[in-house]
Amino acid sequence: HAAVRPADEVPHFSWREGQVLQSRYRVVKLLGDGTFGRVLLAEDRQESGKVAIKVIRNVDKYIRNAKREAQILKDIRDAGPNKAAACVHMLETFTHEADKGRFFCLSCEVLGESLYDHVKRNRFRGLWVQDIQSIARQCLEALAFLHGELGLTHTDLKLENVLFKSTEPMPASDFPREALWKEKHRSSNHGRSHPEYVRPTDTQVKLIDFGNATYELEHHSATINTRQYRAPEVILALGWNERSDLWSMGCILMELYTGDLLFHTHESLEHLALMERTIEPFSGSMMGRVGDARRQHFVEQDPDGGRDCRLHWPGGASSQASERRVAGQGPIARLVLPGHRPLAEFVASLLILEPSRRPSASAALAHPFLFESFPD
């Protein structure tokens, strides 16, 4: 009986150029590796076009997760292509038999770079407001469909999981907020030349990574999201639903404007304190619902034994540096230029602390910001 190998020792699928998978796909090159497996670019000989093939490493938990994601992508695809316009399109799944075992594979459309890679390439300069508006509309349309028709919460929305549809190179452009950006990064950019700014000609985007997406009636994990995009009800363990995706969306849109994370933190109490500085104090009723396990860390009781309770801050701060970080955070309106106030108002409408008061994706689609025209 052979010992089970730790997941990180299980080898990746060894591929070669020109290799044919599923007697349909001719491998062209490696697109990238992840913990779960690797992604190959291939030519689809049946449909004559390029596809991305995700080859999962032979590790039970990765295979289970990939099969689950494949089922979700199939549900999305079966609901109709127009509705799922801004979700990645999966073609099929198959198992490839190789000398070193069997590999579970998913073939999907090839997409361009992620919003994160795009912002990073532009030295964290943010996007034109016109482009943010277009991306916001598409993402909310996708969420209105996922939430409203499938009862599905994505649970991991972030810049890395929104990709441009086009793989074409992006042309150089000016950046309308260059002076503001230079001022903000004056110390770190002293005497440095700046790479040119590139702007997408086509702002069509797609949501990817449905591996943690959760149906309404399924078990809801206690913790979801990458921390910086995590909604307050998740941190406070008050239970969550699809409105948590709207919170993540608000964080994403602000990051697309400033080029920086809205909540830059690695600690839950500090994160909640940053939310209060950015939005408003938590209500006594929301704090009053926090269960015992979190209450001792996050909630300050009324010393007079009354029913009033509030966030345990700054009393609970782990350091003076943490207190200073929170004190330096300000309202969303302070982060935008006067002409971009509608964007700040839109983001504020998504970042509502009480999830029951946060708009649904379809309600958010009616916000005036999405109908204004911005010269930038």
Active-site residue, selected from the candidate residues 117, 131, 156, 292 = 156
- At 84, list the tokens: 């799922």
In sequence order, which residues have a C-beta less than 8 Å from that of residue 293 and are 6 or more positions away? 237
Distance CA 141, CA 157 (A): 14
Quick one: which of 349, 365, 367, 369 has its CA closest to 357? 349
Taking the mean position of all CA atoms in its chain, how far away is CA 160? Answer: 6
Q: 10 Å Cβ neighbour count for 278? A: 21
Contact between 154 and 210 under an 8 Å Cβ cutoff? The reply is yes
Place of tokens 């991305």: 52
- For helices 129-150 and 341-350, the axis angle rounded to 10 degrees is 20
**Torsion angles phi and psi, residue 88, rounded to 5:** -55, 140
Q: Hey, is 201 helix, strand or coil? A: coil
Residue 54 annotated in ligand binding: yes
Q: How far, in Å, CA of 282 to CA of 276, rounded?
A: 7
3-state secondary structure of 105: strand
Q: Does the active-site annotation cover 156?
A: yes
Please tell me whether residue 310 adopts helix, strand or coil conformation: strand
Residue 117's contacts (CB-CB under 8 Å, 6 or more residues apart) are none
The Cα–Cα gap between 241 and 245 comes to 8
Task: Cite the active site residues.
Answer: 156
Can you say which residues are annotated as belonging to the binding site?
Answer: 54
Can you say which residues are annotated as belonging to the binding site for ATP?
Answer: 54
